[in-house]
Amino acid sequence: MTTPTNKNDPSSSKVANSSDGLRNRANEQGRPQSQQWSRLLVLCIAVALGGVVTARALCPDVAWLSRQHIDLLCSVPSSLLNGWHAAPNTMSNGTHEFRETMILISVDGLRQEYLERGLTPHLLEMSKTGLRADYLNPIFPTLTFPNHWTLMTGLWAESHGLVANKIFDPATKKVWLPTKKESFEPEWWFGEPMWETAQKAGLKTADIMWPGPRTSQSGATPTYSVPFNFSYPIDAKLDRILEWMDMPIEERPQLITMYEPSLDNSGHETGPHSLRTNQTLAKIDSWAGNLTASLQARNLSDIVNVVILSDHGMADTSAPELIYMDEILGEDFVTIEYIDGWPSMGLHLFPEANASRILEKLYAAEDPTKFEVFTRETMPARRHYANNPRIAPIFITPHLGYALTTTVLNGTEISVGNHGWDNIYPDLRAVFLTQGPFAERMKTKAAAYASGSPRSDSDLWQSTKGSGSDGYVMTNFNNIEIYNLAMHMLGIQDRAASNNGTVGFWDAYV
């Protein structure tokens, strides 16, 4: 990408006029014009690095240049050389230089169906000026922390270690809970987050409250960071993003990540169909409109990639059928050392427990229409949820509409809206939409297919009606692909860490 010439910079016109003179003199001496420009570039670099003596050594016949021209080259080499280096990586919004940038926003609990309620005109407009996916498929379990760390690393839960919102580590006997400060120590979080990869590539990064550690296992931290705070207003988050975007290019982050929990809170406390949930949804949509307008006002729509997505959906769990696990297991229930994995039940057993008898009781009570019992060996492969010691050796998963509990709790742990069940349920589907230069590249390639160009990726798009009501709609995909999307948007895909994303997934789109 070529850096636009600053027409208001007198030195730019001075260089242009002088180079015209050099070109004319060269042509008068019979040299090909392309050869003279190549020699001029070498000369500029030589002057910048070593002065006129070095220039004459590299170009012994430099005598055809006048002393006036040599003096001119000596007076502007740094700007000329900097522009030559920066050109492939910078863009101008008309007043300032920018590098490839991505703003990644997660709206917790934004389920795919919410976009069909007539309450999200700005999000829908964003998806039409850009594009969206039919839906984004969360990993199992459909819980906040496992999915956010998958979005950040491109790893399944069994690979990154955040296997639930409540975890028992049998090796250390430690318990992970989101309310414990020590749960955010790096030892719990495996994988390389995208902000670490970006910084390794020389980019600056910024984060607002993304669910995860502030420091990776290698000791890396985002360049700028706002710690988790439930009371941090969403409008203040926009202000902070714009402050970062308005920084000088040397200080400005190229990757900005942000987390917003208010919609998930509304869904849990009042259910996915409540007035409060709809009001929160409308507020978030208005916020998205303000973000888009703010970027347009800065003439950044063709420079900054914006991605808005969610970690999972939200289901109505106001009247589940309760299944009492202590009644099923009887006296063996007290031999369970720890239960984690809610709304599933992961059973970690004491050494003296009779695992075979416990499994027999569970299999005898199992009703595949209500709940299923798995071991690590029998866990469905599509879940990628077996190869980690933090995953309990006996794992019971209820179907949506059912809840596992005990006679003591009697279902009191279940709110009217929830998630965490299998990712096959439509209510738990997440959202993905994006706009910016990367989306335009995807649409350009999709349009070539729609116009009849020979292609083999018809399964990539659900709709390519650029002027229709649907716009460009990708076929649903797994959220493990988001890490590699960030690498592509930032132009550092060759620096990506090892992850579970599909090799070549985004290459097929662009």
Any domain includes 260: yes
Which segments of 310-457 are extended strands (E)? 315-316, 321-324, 336-340, 345-349, 371-375, 394-398, 402-405, 417-418, 432-435
| pLDDT for residue 315 | 98
The H or E element that residue 214 is part of is none
pLDDT for 233-268, tens place per residue? 999 999 999 999 999 999 999 999 999 999 999 999
| pLDDT for residue 294 | 98
Q: Write down the mean pLDDT value for the chain.
A: 86
| pLDDT for residue 268 | 98
Q: What is the dihedral of CA 226, 228, 232, 235, to 10 degrees?
A: 60
Same domain, 467 and 445: yes
Give Cα separations from 263 to 115, 229, 269 (angstroms).
13, 15, 10
Any domain includes 160: no
Same domain, 141 and 232: yes
Strand 371-375 relative to strand 321-324, pairing: unpaired
Give the percent of the chain with pLDDT over 90.
77
223 tagged catalytic: no
Instruction: Please give the span between the terminal C-alpha atoms of the chain, in angstroms, as a whole number.
Output: 17
pLDDT for 445-504, tens place per residue? 988 766 655 445 568 998 887 555 678 999 999 999 999 999 999 999 999 999 999 999
Whether the per-residue pLDDT at 6 is higher than 70: the answer is no
Band the pLDDT of 230: cuts 50, 70, 90: confident
pLDDT for 164-184, tens place per residue? 999 999 999 999 999 999 999
| pLDDT for residue 171 | 94
The angle, 0 to 180 degrees and rounded to 10, between the axes of the packed helices 275-297 and 262-270 is: 170
CATH number of the domain to which 215 belongs: 3.40.720.10
DSSP 126-160: HHHHSEEES-EEPPSS--HHHHHHHHHH---HHHH
| pLDDT for residue 463 | 86
Band the pLDDT of 329: cuts 50, 70, 90: very high
Whether the per-residue pLDDT at 27 is higher than 50: the answer is no
Strand 255-260 relative to strand 101-107, pairing: parallel
Question: Which residue type occupies 5?
Answer: T
| pLDDT for residue 470 | 73
Same domain, 267 and 141: yes
Instruction: Please choose, from the candidates 471, 466, 467, 449, the residue with its C-alpha nearest in 3D space to the C-alpha of residue 458.
Output: 449
- Which residues are CB-neighbours of 428 under 8 A, at least 6 positions away? 111, 138, 142, 312, 313, 314, 315, 400, 419, 421, 422
| pLDDT for residue 465 | 72
Give the percent of the chain with pLDDT over 70.
80
**Looking at 391, 418, 445, which one is the last position of a domain?**
418
Any domain includes 478: yes
| pLDDT for residue 211 | 97
Residue 252 class from Cβ within 10 Å (0-12 exposed, 13-18 middle, 19+ buried)?
A: buried
Any domain includes 165: no
DSSP 307-322: EEE-S---EE-SSPEE
Whether the per-residue pLDDT at 52 is higher than 70: the answer is no
Mean pLDDT, residues 395-419: 97
pLDDT for 426-446, tens place per residue? 999 999 999 999 999 999 998
- pTM of the predicted model as reported, rounded to 2 decimal places: 0.82
Same domain, 202 and 325: no
Any domain includes 449: yes
| pLDDT for residue 452 | 56
CATH number of the domain to which 362 belongs: 3.30.1360.180
Contacts 24+ apart (CB under 8 A), 8-13: 11/76, 11/79
| pLDDT for residue 134 | 97
Whether the per-residue pLDDT at 14 is higher than 80: the answer is no
Same domain, 303 and 449: yes
Q: Are 171 and 398 a contacting pair, CB within 8 Å?
A: no
Same domain, 120 and 205: yes
Same domain, 79 and 18: yes
Active-site position among 90, 120, 142, 144: 144
Same domain, 139 and 260: yes
Mean pLDDT, residues 272-278: 98
Any domain includes 164: no
Q: Say how far apart CA 303 and CA 249 lie, in whole Å.
A: 13
Domain that holds residue 226: 97-155+191-314+430-495
| pLDDT for residue 459 | 85
Q: Using alpha carbons only, how large is the chain's radius of gyration in Å? A: 28
Any domain includes 424: no
Band the pLDDT of 53: cuts 50, 70, 90: very low
Same domain, 63 and 205: no
**Looking at 66, 92, 118, which one is the last position of a domain?**
92
Any domain includes 444: yes
Same domain, 278 and 371: no
pLDDT for 347-406, tens place per residue? 999 999 999 999 999 999 999 999 999 999 999 999 999 999 999 999 999 999 999 999
Place of tokens 């027999």: 360
Count CB atoms within 10 A of the CB of residue 235: 12
| pLDDT for residue 30 | 38
User: In a 3-state reduction of DSSP, which class is residue 223?
Assistant: coil
Same domain, 217 and 265: yes
**Looking at 92, 125, 146, which one is the last position of a domain?**
92
List the structure tokens of 141. Answer: 């379990």
Whether the per-residue pLDDT at 29 is higher than 60: the answer is no
Q: Say how far apart CA 192 and CA 354 lie, in whole Å.
A: 39
Band the pLDDT of 71: cuts 50, 70, 90: very low
Same domain, 283 and 359: no
| pLDDT for residue 471 | 87
Q: Are 255 and 194 a contacting pair, CB within 8 Å?
A: yes
Domain count, the chain: 3
Instruction: Please work out, in degrees rounded to the nearest 5, the angle formed at the alpha carbon of residue 192 by the alpha carbons of 433 and 215.
Output: 105
